[in-house]
Structure formats: C-alpha cells, structure tokens
A and B are shown apart, each in its own frame.
Chain A
C-alpha cells in the first residue's frame, strides 16, 4: 500500500517538475525577447518613449490568425516590434500550454473527472482566444 502511494507521489512529482520547467522556460524566453525588443527599439528609433500609435498595439482578428500572421512575418515591419510581440505571445502561450500538458497527464492516468475539468478550462480559454 505504502509502496503504491510512494510510486504515485513520484509520478505526481515528475508532472509537477514538468509544469515547473515549462513555466520557467516560457517566462525566461519571453523576458529575453522583450529585452532584445526594447534594445532594438532604442537602436532603431533612438528614444524609448511610450507610444500610443497603432503599431505599438497588438491587433488582429483573433489569437490564432494573429499567430499565423506573426509566424508568416506579416508583422515584421520592424524587428523591435516583432521581438516584443513574440515575447508577449510566448508569455500568453505559457499558461495555455500548461493546461494542455495537464490534459495529457490526466489522460495518461485515465482520471476521467480531471480530464473533463481540464478540458473545460482548455475549451473556454480557446473559445475566448478565438471569439473576437
């Protein structure tokens, strides 16, 4: 009995570590992109003013069409803006991927209740990212 409990704890701890690494990697890459973006911004424009002009705002039809355009390079009028946009996108994708990993984890251990709960969270998030 104790052996089974210990084995279960080990599995959970591996899952927790995977989530932990995903979070730290996502945030670190994102922050790195923002630092590069800000440095390039200064290099191109020679100022760091906060700007209310259109190109400083994230825009698009919905998150997924925005992602497609981003990877196709349609936002690449300026590398500084591109890096900053990529950084924010990675930041947004980090918790989203976390839910995806959780679904896989609960599916692997056939925990139906938590597959449904996690799927619910995933579907609601996906809908809210699509519906704009």
Chain B
C-alpha cells in the first residue's frame, strides 16, 4: 500500500534516474502512481508541481554558470506556456483512457534525442531576419573544450511552433517534455547541446507553472502526493546532477532504453485493461 513515506523514498531514486537519463522525474513517477491505483488525472496534475521543483533546482546552477540563454528562454516560453495551458485544459476534460495512450506515444519521442553528435558551426552568415531581430545569440565558456563558444539561433518561428507542441504535451501529460524540447532546440533552432539542455531546463519550470495554473483549482492537486514527490524528486535530481559527469554514456543509454520501454509497456497495459 502506497503512503507518503514510501512515495517520498520512491521519488528519490526516480528523481535521480530522471536527472541521469534526462527523462525528468515526472515521466517515471506518473506510471508508478498509476500502477498503485492513483487516478491518472490526479497523478498528472500533482506531478506537474514536482516538475517545477526539480527544474528550478537544477536550472539555478546552470543559470549561474551563464550557460542558459535567458533571451532564448523568454522567447520560447511564449509558445510553451500557451501550449501547456491548452494541454492541461484538454486533460481536465477528456476521458482518462486516452491519456494512457498519449503518454505512451509521447514517451517514444524521448528516443529522438539520440542522434549522432556532430560538430555544428554555430555562427552563420545568413541568420534569418526574425532570429536576428530577436537578438537570439550568445556565448558561453565550454569547460571541456576550454574555449568560449559563440552561437546564433536559426529558424525562430519554426522553433516556436515546435516549442508550442512541447508545451502542449507537457501540460497535457504532467511532464517536463525535456527530450522533445532539446530536440527542437538543437535541430531546428541550432543551439549548441549544452546551451540547449540547460535552457530547456529553465523553460520547463515555466511550462510546468502554466500547466499547474490550470490544474490548481480543478480539484486534482493532492497535497499528500505533491509534498513527498516534490521533496523526493528534488533530492534525487540534486544527487543525480552531481554524479552525472562521472558516468559513462553507454551505461546511461542502456538504462534509459530499459526505463522508457518499461514505462511505455506499463502505460499501454494500464490503458488497455482500464475498465
């Protein structure tokens, strides 16, 4: 039988794994809560609050280091918050059975981020007018390469549309949708990977706030779920963030695949057997 103490202790390794694999705590916790018989909509809405905690906690260190790009984040947040508000509103009105399948389907997009890592050239002679007008560029000090990397953003409008979809899924499913956001930022907006993942973390907190604002008074935010999840995932994510650099990429990838496949199976099973 799940209680708050057990949920807190489950949330610590979940936050840890979420930080290591980039999945985020909520994507893993929601199927676990569902398997314990917590109504899916309550699980989704309550997890959204823990997304604010983990993303704000880890974003703080990246912002301090100057890797996140605040202008890019602010611009993209316009799109993600509208998506999140719309997504959360959809969740409050549709039958829960669809949400199991949407959740399983969206988890598949987590695999998108595993593309070949090739060296981008981050400065262009032909940055599009809108990205240029929006001052979407920046620089950061790359510790691994021991040099300052300057970059310019491309395709601001298309990237904005991509982020609207990310926000829609995040609000609807109570997750950060980090992998999807990173994919849009790296492949469409052409941000360097480090800037992309740290800026995405920054945006996730705001997207989660927009989703939470819809769930706040829908009668779905349960304190006995939110409190232990917020504590546990934040502690876990903090530890995960500290040891992330010490782990080998290959072992992380295997772990990631096993978890995602398990979660997809779990949600499909619950959706198909729901009475």
> Do residues A23 and B3 form an inter-chain contact, with CB atoms below 8 A?
no
| CB contact between B53 and one of A19, A31, A48, A50 (< 8 Å): that residue | A31
Q: Range of interface residues on chain B?
A: 35 or more
Does A61 lie at the interface of the complex (its beta carbon under 8 Å from any beta carbon of B)?
yes
Residues on A with C-beta less than 8 A from B3 are 47-50
A68 to B42, CA, bound (A): 25
| CB contact between B70 and one of A15, A23, A31, A81 (< 8 Å): that residue | A15
| CB contact between B230 and one of A21, A48, A88, A125 (< 8 Å): that residue | A88
Residues on B with C-beta less than 8 A from A113 are 133-135
A15 to B156, CA, bound (A): 24
Residues on A with C-beta less than 8 A from B219 are 57, 59
**With A91-B52, A121-B206, A125-B213 as contacts: A84 and B223 at CB distance below 8 Å:** yes
Does B266 lie at the interface of the complex (its beta carbon under 8 Å from any beta carbon of A)?
no
A52 to B37, CA, bound (A): 12
Residues on B with C-beta less than 8 A from A104 are none
Chain A, residue nearest B139 (CB): A9
| CB contact between B63 and one of A16, A66, A96, A117 (< 8 Å): that residue | A16
A62 to B268, CA, bound (A): 35
> Do residues A121 and B74 form an inter-chain contact, with CB atoms below 8 A?
yes
Residues on B with C-beta less than 8 A from A20 are 60-61, 63-64
Task: Report which residue of B70, B205, B222, B228 has the largest number of chain A beta carbons within 10 angstroms of its beta carbon.
Answer: B70
Residues of B at under 8 Å CB distance from A?
Answer: 2-5, 7-8, 38, 42, 49, 52-53, 56-57, 59-61, 63-64, 66, 68, 70-71, 74-75, 77-78, 81-82, 85, 133-135, 205-206, 208-210, 212-214, 216-217, 219-228, 230-231, 234
Additional A-B contact list (17), CB under 8 Å, known A48-B4, A94-B56, A124-B81: A13-B66, A19-B70, A20-B63, A21-B60, A47-B3, A48-B3, A49-B4, A50-B7, A51-B224, A52-B222, A59-B217, A87-B227, A91-B56, A94-B52, A95-B206, A125-B81, A128-B214
